Structure 1
Amino acid sequence: MSSDPWGRVDETGTVYVRTADGEQVVGSWAAGSPEEALAYFERKYEGLVVEIGLLEKRVQTTDLSAKDAQAAIDHLREQVDAHHAVGDLDALRGRLDKLVATVEARREERKQQRAKQSDEARKAKEDLVTEAEQLAQSDQWRAAGERLRSLVDTWKGLPRLDRKSDDELWHRFSHARSAFSKRRKAHFAQLDAQREEARRTKERLVAEAEALSGSTDWGPTAARYRELMAQWKAAGRAQREHEDDLWNRFRGAQDVFFAARSSLFAERDAEQAENLKLKEELAEEAQKLLPIGDLKTARAAFRSINERWEAIGHVPRDARPKVEGRMHTVERALQEAEEAEWRRTNPEARARAEGLTGQLQAAVDKLRGQIDQARAQGNNAKADKLERELEGRQALLDQALKGLQEFGG
């Protein structure tokens, strides 16, 4: 008979293993010595140790599913429970029990993780639906269309929810996209119709412009061309393939007319250029009257300049505002000087100004007395309120005093 701490072989060749529940028969051995029998079944035990160790490592370091892990544990437990090995089988059972607990904890963790991922996916899809429904009302056709396509790609990358929730959200998402596409299609259909209407309108305008290009009725024809240009701008754009050609024809017809008119008016333009030179000299003479000193002398001098100005003919239209503006500046200065003179010599206005100033001065003095009295009585709130009122009255008084100075004192 041969034995070790975990097993023995009796005289009949039967091999036993020691467990917490007592000895268990491992098997019979007749091929060699008892020592060889124990060594054989100890190797069986070592094999189980290795397999359990590998399974523990897989559970800890890989994404082995709980189902597959449990199946592997059950398979190893059957081998341990069959008692076909010599070693500490109870320790192996303990390791398998601990592994079961680990797998169960991992199962619960993954369940919670899946629940969290599902909640996150639901929130993400709800956000996508909300944004899609907002985009469905947008008139930014290109940007909104590109964003909706991007949202579809994002949706495809998200996990599926339960079928009912996923279908409901997808229905809203799809409906928003369809609504946007329908609105965009209607918009561009309307735009195409408008562009076709613009094309027909501009064809008519081009025909009239070309018919007028040989006219020598300069004033009415030029006015009509301005009207045609206003109608052209109001018509909107035609289709791209027609717009440039129509514009070139329209502009070309105008150019023919205005080139002919410009040739005829070249002499007039030269005369107007000479007129401009004369008026600029008069404007410079008028500006030398500034600042206004002797009003009577300045008024007579300006009247003389203005009479010579009126005797000169037209100047080029684009130069007119500038040169006339110089004369208007002097004219306004004369008007202001006359108004100031009138105010200085108007006794009624002076009396009104002096009366208003006196009233405001009395009000200011009264308020100051009330403030001093309130401070003396310790009523600071009332004093503060009166001081704010004093600020307003003082500002009015300062303004009135400034006006009174215009009357010379």
Structure 2
Amino acid sequence: MSSDPWGRVDETGTVYVRTAEGEREVGSWQAGSPAEALAYFERKYEGLVVEIGLLERRVRTTDLSAKDAQAAVEHLREQVRGANAVGDLEALDKRLEKLLSTVQERQEVRKAERAKQSEESRKAKEELVAEAEQLAESEQWRVAGERLRALVDIWKGLPRLDRKSDDELWHRFSHARSAFSKRRKAHFAALDAQREDARKVKEGLVAEAESLSESTEWGPTAARYRDLMTRWKAAGRAQREAEDELWTRFRAAQDVFFSARNELFAERDVEQGENLKLKEALADEAEKLLPVKDLKAVRAAFRGINERWEAIGHVPRDARPKVEGRLHAVERAIQEAEEAEWRRTNPEARARAAGLTGQLQDAVDKLRAQIAQAESAGNTAKAAKLRGELEGRQALLDQALKGLEEFGG
């Protein structure tokens, strides 16, 4: 018989392994010595040791799932517990028990990590949904559209939640995108309709502008072109290609008209510039007539200047007020001289002035006499009152005498 700490071979060749529960038969050996029998069954034990070691390494160094790891551990435990091998099978079972605990701990860690990841994913998706629902109301069509496309890419990169939660959030997300797309399509459909209306309006404006391009009614036609431009701006924009083509035709028609007008006005500006020089010379000549000394001669000279003035023609509009103002100032001075002469030589006006002066003189003389009488009587209060009246009447008399002097005495 042969034995070692973990097994023995009896005299019949039966091989036993020692366990905590006692000996267990693992096989028989008839082909060789008992030592060879134990060595054979010990090699089977070492095979189990190697398999356990490999599984421990897989669990430690690979992403072996908990489910697969548990299955592998249970499979090896069954092998160890029923193994036909000689060795410390209890130690192997403890190693497997410890490995199973490690797998379960890792499973709990991964479960917690998945729960955390799921919560983070849920929060991230809820934020994406909230942003998408906000963007669904935006009218920044290009920016919002690009952002929604970016949100889809972000969504695809996030881990899935449980099916119900993921489906509910995706439904809201998808609904927001659809709502934005519908609003954008409706907006651009309305915009296309507006642009088509604008195209029709602008085609009419272009036709009218082209019909006016040869007009020589400069003022009215220029006003009509300004009105056409106002209506053009109010019509809104047509489709881009139509807008550019219509605007080119509209501007070309305007250019034909305004180029012709500007050419004519340039010729007029030269002519009116010469007219201005002539009128400035006449204004100089008229101003030399002042001050008026010989009214008759001045009147005749001014009449000749005015006739030449009228024959000259137009001057530039911006220069007109100044040069005409100079001539009008001379004309007013002559009119004032004529009025003064009329007043001086009018016998009726002179008689009225003389009569008024006489009346005022009589009143002044009467007041002086009354003052002298009051003073003689010692009535100083009455005398003071009469002096106040005298001062007023004397002032009126002085003015009347001055006016009478203008009539030559």
TM category, shorter: 0.5 to 0.7
Distance 2:93 2:317 in 1: 115
Indicate conservation of the 8 Å contact 1:136/1:179, yes or no. yes
Tell me how far 1:78 sits from its aligned partner.
1.3
Any idea what the Cα deviations from partners look like across 1:150-175, whole Å, max 9, x if unmatched? Answer: 11122122222222222221121111
Match in the other structure for 1:111: 111
Match in the other structure for 2:376: none
Distance 1:273 1:88 in 2: 128
Distance 1:100 1:138 in 2: 56
* SS at 1:8 equivalent: strand
Structure (1 or 2) with the larger CA radius of gyration: 2
Q: What are the within-5 Å matches in structure 2 for residues 300-339 of structure 1?
A: 313-314=315-316
Distance 2:201 2:44 in 1: 99
Against the structure 1 CA distance between its residues 277 and 53, is the aligned structure 2 distance closer, same or farther, given a 3 Å change threshold? farther
Q: What are the within-5 Å matches in structure 2 for residues 225-304 of structure 1?
A: 225-270=225-270
Partner amino acid, structure 2, of 1:212: L
Distance 2:270 2:192 in 1: 49
Q: What are the within-5 Å matches in structure 2 for residues 88-99 of structure 1?
A: 88-99=88-99
* SS at 1:265 equivalent: helix
Any idea what the Cα deviations from partners look like across 1:311-362, whole Å, max 9, x if unmatched? Answer: x943679xx9xxxxxxxxxxxxxxxxxxxxxxxxxxxxxxxxxxxxxxxxxx
Equivalent pairs: percent with the same residue? Answer: 79
* SS at 2:24 equivalent: strand
Any idea what the Cα deviations from partners look like across 1:48-102, whole Å, max 9, x if unmatched? Answer: 0000011111111111111111111111111111141111111101101101111
Q: What are the within-5 Å matches in structure 2 for residues 5-404 of structure 1?
A: 5-270=5-270, 313-314=315-316
How many residues were matched structurally? 287
Any idea what the Cα deviations from partners look like across 1:128-187, whole Å, max 9, x if unmatched? Answer: 100000100111111111111111122122222222222221121111111101110111
Indicate conservation of the 8 Å contact 2:209/2:250, yes or no. yes
Distance 1:189 1:30 in 2: 97
Distance 2:101 2:262 in 1: 102
Partner amino acid, structure 1, of 2:11: E
Against the structure 1 CA distance between its residues 23 and 273, is the aligned structure 2 distance closer, same or farther, given a 3 Å change threshold? farther
Indicate conservation of the 8 Å contact 2:80/2:93, yes or no. yes
Tell me how far 1:193 sits from its aligned partner.
0.8
* SS at 2:3 equivalent: strand
Distance 1:109 1:273 in 2: 99
Against the structure 1 CA distance between its residues 125 and 316, is the aligned structure 2 distance closer, same or farther, given a 3 Å change threshold? farther
Indicate conservation of the 8 Å contact 1:272/1:315, yes or no. no
Distance 1:33 1:164 in 2: 68
Indicate conservation of the 8 Å contact 1:25/1:83, yes or no. no
Partner amino acid, structure 1, of 2:25: V
Which sits farther off after the overlay, 218-227 or 21-30? 21-30
Distance 1:274 1:103 in 2: 111
Against the structure 1 CA distance between its residues 39 and 273, is the aligned structure 2 distance closer, same or farther, given a 3 Å change threshold? farther
Partner amino acid, structure 2, of 1:88: D
Distance 2:275 2:160 in 1: 85
Against the structure 1 CA distance between its residues 259 and 16, is the aligned structure 2 distance closer, same or farther, given a 3 Å change threshold? same
Partner amino acid, structure 2, of 1:118: S
Distance 1:314 1:224 in 2: 24
Match in the other structure for 1:362: none
Distance 2:166 2:15 in 1: 62
Distance 1:120 1:74 in 2: 34
Partner amino acid, structure 2, of 1:245: E
Distance 1:14 1:74 in 2: 29
Against the structure 1 CA distance between its residues 56 and 263, is the aligned structure 2 distance closer, same or farther, given a 3 Å change threshold? same
Against the structure 1 CA distance between its residues 277 and 62, is the aligned structure 2 distance closer, same or farther, given a 3 Å change threshold? farther
Indicate conservation of the 8 Å contact 2:269/2:316, yes or no. no
Partner amino acid, structure 1, of 2:158: L
Match in the other structure for 1:380: none
Any idea what the Cα deviations from partners look like across 1:212-255, whole Å, max 9, x if unmatched? Answer: 11111001101111111111112111111211111111111111
Unaligned segments of structure 1, at least 5 residues: 279-311, 321-409
Distance 1:275 1:264 in 2: 17
Indicate conservation of the 8 Å contact 2:273/2:315, yes or no. no
Indicate conservation of the 8 Å contact 1:276/1:315, yes or no. no
* SS at 2:17 equivalent: strand
Distance 1:92 1:251 in 2: 98
Cα-Cα RMSD = 2.5
Distance 2:268 2:71 in 1: 108
Against the structure 1 CA distance between its residues 72 and 183, is the aligned structure 2 distance closer, same or farther, given a 3 Å change threshold? same
Distance 1:160 1:277 in 2: 92
Distance 2:14 2:274 in 1: 139
Any idea what the Cα deviations from partners look like across 1:81-126, whole Å, max 9, x if unmatched? Answer: 1141111111101101101111111111111111111111110110
Partner amino acid, structure 2, of 1:314: P
Distance 1:108 1:67 in 2: 12
Distance 1:275 1:50 in 2: 123
Q: TM-score, normalised by structure 1?
A: 0.66
Partner amino acid, structure 1, of 2:234: A
Distance 1:127 1:236 in 2: 39
